[in-house]
A and B are shown apart, each in its own frame.
Chain A
Amino acid sequence: MDTNTHINYEEQKVGYYKVLVGLLLLTTLTFVQPHMFFESYTFVTQLMIGALKAWMILMYYMHLKGEKLIGWTVAFSLVLVVFFFLVVIADVNSFQFKDVSHITSQPHIDVDYHHASHEE
C-alpha cells in the first residue's frame, strides 16, 4: 500500500526536524528537572517526560498515527503491562510482614548487611 505513494522529501523532512527539536527540548527538561521543579517527585516526573518522548517517537517516527489495527494492538499490550505493574506493585506494597522480613530492610532499621546472609 505504501510502496507507490508519491511523497515529497522536502516537505516530510521538516516534520522529522520538528520532532527532533521537540525531543531535544524534552531531553533538556530531563536534566534540569531534578534541580528546578517537582524535586520531591523526580521519579514520577522523569517517567512522565519519558512517556511524552515515547509518544512522539511512536506517533511521528514510527508512523503509528492513523494505523487503526496496529494502534489497537499496541494499546492492548501497553494496557496489559500497566495492569501487571498495578497488581504486582500493589502486592509488594501491602505485604503484611514488611517489618520482620529481612529483604524489606528500611534504612531506619539498623541491619548489618555484612551478616545478613549468614544469619539465615
Chain B
Amino acid sequence: MSNSSNSGKSYLEAGETHYAIGHPKSVFMQWMLTIDHKRIGLMYAAVIFVFFFVAVLVALSIRIELFAPGAQLFDGDSYNQAFTLHGVIMIFLFIIPGVPAVFGNIIMPLMIGAKDVSFPRLNWFTFWLYIFGALIALSSLWTGNGFADTGWTFYAPYSLNTNTNVITTLVAAFVLGMASILTGLNFLVTIHRLRAPGMDFFKMPLFVWGIYATAWIQLLATPVVGITLILALLEKMFGIGIFDPSKGGDPVLFEHLFWIYSHPAVYLMILPAFGIMSEIIPVFSRREVFGYRTIALSSASIAGIGYLVWGHHLFTSGMSDLAKTVFSFLTFFVAIPTGVKFYDWVATMYKGKIILTTPMLWALGTMITFVIGGLTGVTIAMIGADIHLQDTYYTVAHFHYAMLGGVVFLLFAGLHYWFPVMFGKMYDEKKAKIAFYLNFVGFNVLWFPMFIAGYQGMPRRYFDYLPEFQIYHQISFFGALIFISGLAYMFYVLIQGMKHGKPSGTNPWHATTLEWHLPSSPPPLENHSKVPYVDFRPYEYHHGEPVVKFDYKTMKRID
C-alpha cells in the first residue's frame, strides 16, 4: 500500500494499482482485483457500453419487425420478450449504473481532490456485484422458458402468472439494485468526508452536486423497489398473496411501490448527466457559470421533489381520483428546477466566448433534444392528455427523447470531454464532430415521427399495427440506421483516439476544476501528488482565461 504516488507513472500501466487481495503478477488479474476508482470506472464503462450495443441491436430487430404491419421477424410472444430484453438491459444494466458508475467513479474523486472513494474495497465488491447481477439477468435468456415477457416494469398480476423466466430477472434486478445502493453509499460518504481542505459544499463542481443528489436517490429509493421485487418473487414461489387479486392482493399497490423507486430513478439518470452539462457549458463559454447556487440547489430539489410524484404513472391504472389530482399537480413542480437549470446554462453562454468543440456540440445538441423530451413530459403530466396518450408511442418517444436524447447524449458528451483525463490522448475532433451530426440527425429522424404516430393512437408494446402508421415506422427505421451508424462511427473514432491519439497534456480545454490540475495525464495511481487548498469557486474565468493557477510541485496557488 505504499508505492508510488509520486512516481509519475500513469494509472493504466501494469502494476500501478492497489489490490483488493494479494499482489497478482498478471496484468489481467491486476485489473480484476484493482480497487483504484479510475480503473473500476473504466471497467464499468467497458461493460455498460457492451450491454448498450447489445440492447441497441435488439432495438434494431424491433424496428425491423415494425417496418411493416403483420409478423416478420417475431411472433407476438417473442416480440414481448424482445422489448423486455431491450428495456431491462437499457435500464438496469446500462443507464442506471450509467453516469455515476463511470464518471462518478473516475472523475468525482479527482474533482474533490481525493485519493480514492471512501471505501475502495467496497467499490471493488460493488463492481463485481454488478457483474454478478448482469450474469443472472443474461442467464435467463437460455434457461427456463426464455426471457421475461412482462416489459421492464414487471407489472402484477401478469408477471405473477406468466411462465417465462421472470424469477431470474427479478433476482437480477434486485442484485443490480444492491450494487446501485452501494455505489450511492460510497459516493455520499466520499463527498462528505474526502473533499480537499477548504472546499465547502458550495465550492464543489456542479457535477459533484449532481452525483451527490443522485446518490441520495440510489440510497433511499432503490431499497423500496428491491423489496417489492422480493415480495413479487415470494408470491411466485410460495403464493403469499401479495399483489395477486385472486388472493385479495392489489396490483395497484405493486405499481405504487414500483414507481416510488422508478420515477426517482429517472432523476437518478438525468441529474449526473445535467452535472456533465454544467461542467461543459462554462468551460466552453469561458465564463463563470451563471447562478451556481441555483443549479446546485435545483439538483437537490429535483431529487427531493422527484420522490413525491410517482403517481403520474398510475393515471390509467385504477388509482383514486384524489391521488390523481394531487400527483398531477406535484408533477408540474418538478419542471421548475429543471427549467431554472436551462435558463442558467443559456445565461452562462450569453456573451460568452463559445468554442464549438465536440463535447460542447454534444451538450448543445442535448439542450434541444432534452427540451423536447422534457416538455412532452409536462404534457402527459396532465391527467386529461395522459388518458389519451398513456401507453402510446407518444410516451415512448417522450422517454427516448429524455433518456437517449438527454442522459445518453450527455454521457457521450462526458466521454468526449473527459477523454484526455482518462487516456492522456486526444481523438480526432473533426471525425468526432461528424459522428455527432450523424447521431443527432439520426436520433431525431428515429424518434420524432413516433410522437405523431403515438398522438394518432399507435399503442406501445404491439408487434402489429394498422396500415396508416406504416409511414412513421418506416421513417423511424431509416433514422435508426443513421443513428446506429453514427454510434458505431463515434466509438470507432474514440477507440482510434485511445490507440493513436496525440498526447493531450493535462488541461487541453483550459478548464478550471481540479481534475484538470493533475500532475500528469493520465493521472498517477493516487491522483493529485499534493492536495491543493481550495479557496476558489469552481469556474473562475477572467477575460476568457482561467483565473486560478498552480505551482504543480507544491500545488500552491500562484496567480
Binding site for B on A (CB under 8 A): 69, 76-77, 80, 83-84, 87-88, 90-92, 94-97, 102-103, 105, 116-117, 120
Contacts and interface: CB of A to CB of B under 8 A. Distances in A.
Interface string B308-330: 10010000001111110010000
Main SS of chain B's interface residues? helix
Interface string B323-355: 100100000000000000000000000000000
Q: Which 7 A-B pairs have the closest CB atoms?
A: A117-B246, A91-B323, A94-B320, A94-B322, A91-B320, A103-B248, A95-B320
Contact of B246 (A80, A95, A120): A120
Interface of B: 192, 220, 224, 245-250, 252-253, 256, 260, 307-308, 311, 318-323, 326
Contacts of A95: 320
Given A69-B192, A91-B319, A91-B320, A103 B250 contact: yes
Nearest to A93: B320
Contacts, number: 45
A91 B250 CA distance: 12
Contacts of B245: 102-103
16 contacts: A69-B192, A80-B307, A84-B224, A87-B323, A88-B253, A88-B256, A91-B323, A94-B320, A94-B321, A95-B320, A96-B320, A102-B245, A103-B249, A103-B250, A105-B248, A120-B246
Given A69-B192, A80-B220, A103-B245, A92 B250 contact: yes
Contacts of A80: 220, 307
Contacts of A117: 246-247
A91 B256 contact: yes
A45 to B, nearest CB: 26
A94 B326 CA distance: 13
B222 to A, nearest CB: 12
A103 B256 CA distance: 17
A43 B265 CA distance: 34
A77 B307 CA distance: 11
A76 B250 CA distance: 28
Nearest to B321: A96
A103 B244 CA distance: 10
B519 to A, nearest CB: 32
Contacts of B192: 69
A84 B260 contact: yes
A90 B250 contact: no
B44 to A, nearest CB: 26
A52 B449 CA distance: 58
A95 B308 CA distance: 20
A91 B256 CA distance: 10
Nearest to B330: A87
Nearest to A87: B323
A102 B250 CA distance: 10
Contact of A91 (B246, B247, B249, B322): B322
A94 B324 CA distance: 11
Nearest to A97: B318
Counting chain B CB atoms within 10 Å of each CB, the highest count among A90, A91, A95, A105 belongs to: A91
A83 B307 contact: yes
Given A91-B311, A92-B320, 7 more contacts: A69-B192, A87-B311, A90-B320, A91-B252, A92-B253, A102-B245, A103-B245
Contacts of B253: 88, 92
Contact of A94 (B246, B249, B256, B323): B323
A105 B246 CA distance: 12
Contacts of A96: 320-321
B192 to A, nearest CB: 7
Contacts of B321: 94, 96
Contacts of A77: 220
A90 B248 CA distance: 19
Contact of A90 (B249, B318, B322): B322
Contacts of A92: 250, 253, 320
A94 to B, nearest CB: 4
Nearest to A102: B245
Contacts of B326: 87
Contacts of A97: 318
Contacts of A102: 245
B142 to A, nearest CB: 34
